[in-house]
Structure 1
Amino acid sequence: MAIGKMIKHREMLKHPVLRRYLPETHWLTPVSHLQMLRSYSSIFVKPNHGCGGAGIIRVERKRNGYEVRFGQKRKYVSSDSVYSAIRSHQKPSQQYLVQRGLRLAKYRGSIFDIRVYMQKPYSKWVISGMLARVAAPNRYVTNYHKGGHGESLNKVLSHLFRNNRRKVNHTLNEMANLSSIIAETLNKRHSGIRELGIDFGIEKSGRLWIIEANTRPGHKLFNQLPDKKMLFIIKKNKRLIQTLH
């Protein structure tokens, strides 16, 4: 069940709790990207129906202009040429949105975000797994298909918060609580959803952001964890969902 990123973003935006965790996001237009670049030092341009990190473009403000980055390709342009540089990497058939860039925390020199895997095998949503997705060196997306790898979330958060257990637990609880609200909020409008991959970004300060919620999440990264407990639960719940629904 593929639902566009903007629809999900707007549905979450209506919720008073979720609103303050959502980075500013608009449809990409010649005007919107410039307004965003005036407010933030970087922006991400994403296909509305993209998955696996495909088609994501990053624009970053530099001293003498802007760096437009698509995969491993980089182009340095003036503000007048940013839009045409973005357009050169787009698929004409796709709609795109522009989102505020986040200064994600790093783990061993690479940025990371967090994937919470939620499932609804029966009548209630459950968290089947949580992990950190660590980007490949010098990459700006963390997806498996772009070289990202899975790490134990406990280990990565302990590293970020210098073994401050209270901070680690607070962050885990905050994400679990937000994930439940996201699942219920989206499920109200889309009753057929039974799985969600919720991606959180976390800044060095510990500030949490909701990057997006995926209705067709992959679970390959859970394969990479030494402990296969979460992978087992995900697969078991997948079987239940297929059998019962």
Structure 2
Amino acid sequence: MYPQPNNTPNEQDSVKEVNALIGNERFLVQQFIPLDLIDQKKYDIRIYVQKDHQGQWTVSGGFSRVVGSADSYITNQATEIKSIHDMLKENNMLSTNQLDKMEKISIQAAQAIEYKLGHLGEMAVDFGLDHQGNPWIIEVNGRTQKKFVKRVNDSELTRTIYLKPIEYARFLARSPRKK
């Protein structure tokens, strides 16, 4: 078991922390992303992609996780959950153009991962925006943690996220089986 890294305020300190943790072992480590800030806090955007009643990948919605500490780079330990609608109103790099890009990339990621891994029905793609507004995939999740959606307080989003897998299951049940 590895010790927990400290939160660090910059890239160089983060690299030193990671090197101290891994020593001579080989790991794949994601490139450092200088994340955009909202109220001096880092955030990410989670996009839900799910198959619909016709078996097609679609974007069901998403939300943003805001980190409580300005020094933290771990966005999945958020202290605040915000709707995409609210984030678009904030003073940050998120725009409808960036959101459109992230949604298209999310569909492409779902299709590519399903091609490699086999049949899937839903996933969540986490993005960070850098200081220039460029979207970066942080990770893709097969376990989508729908519990966060309820914290957004958007009944339509919650309904869609929970209902779409049932609609897809109905599609599968009605589809002729391949032999």
1:134 aligns with: 66
Q: State whether structure 2 residue 43 is matched by structure 1 residue 112.
A: yes
Matches within 5 A, 1:193-208: 193-208=120-135
Query: Which of 80, 84, 88 is matched with 1:157 structurally?
Result: 88
Alpha-carbon spacing, 1:239–1:66, altered in 2? closer, same or farther (3 Å): closer
AA matched with 1:171: Q
Name the Cα RMSD after superposition: 3.0
In the aligned structure 1, how far is the partner of 2:85 from the partner of 2:167? 28
> What percentage of residue pairs aligned between the two structures are identical?
25
AA matched with 2:153: P
In the aligned structure 1, how far is the partner of 2:114 from the partner of 2:51? 10
TM-superposed CA distance for 1:229, in Å, is 1.1
**TM-score when scaled to structure 1?**
0.58
Q: Indicate the structure whose relative CO is greater, using CA pairs within 8 Å and at least 6 residues apart.
A: 2
In the aligned structure 2, how far is the partner of 1:57 from the partner of 1:209? 23
Query: Which of 21, 24, 27 is matched with 1:86 structurally?
Result: 21
AA matched with 1:126: T
TM-superposed CA distance for 1:104, in Å, is 0.5
Matched residue SS, 1:222: helix
Matched residue SS, 2:115: helix
In the aligned structure 1, how far is the partner of 2:121 from the partner of 2:132? 33
**TM-score when scaled to structure 2?**
0.77
Q: Report how many aligned residue pairs link the two structures.
A: 165
TM-superposed CA distance for 1:87, in Å, is 3.5
Matched residue SS, 1:160: coil
Structure 1 segments unaligned to the other structure (5+ residues)? 1-46, 48-54, 69-81
Matches within 5 A, 1:184-223: 184-223=111-150
Summarize deviations over 1:140-172 as a string: whole Å, max 9, x none.
2121xx24432022322332358xxxx722112
AA matched with 1:97: L
2:102 aligns with: 175
Summarize deviations over 1:106-143 as a string: whole Å, max 9, x none.
11221001100111144101111211111122432121
Matches within 5 A, 1:14-163: 60-62=11-13, 67-68=16-17, 83=19, 85-87=20-22, 96-122=27-53, 123-138=55-70, 139-143=72-76, 146-161=77-92
Structure 2 segments unaligned to the other structure (5+ residues)? 174-179
In the aligned structure 2, how far is the partner of 1:56 from the partner of 1:242? 41
In the aligned structure 2, how far is the partner of 1:135 from the partner of 1:161? 14
AA matched with 1:181: Q
Matches within 5 A, 1:4-15: none
Matched residue SS, 1:217: coil
In the aligned structure 1, how far is the partner of 2:143 from the partner of 2:68? 23
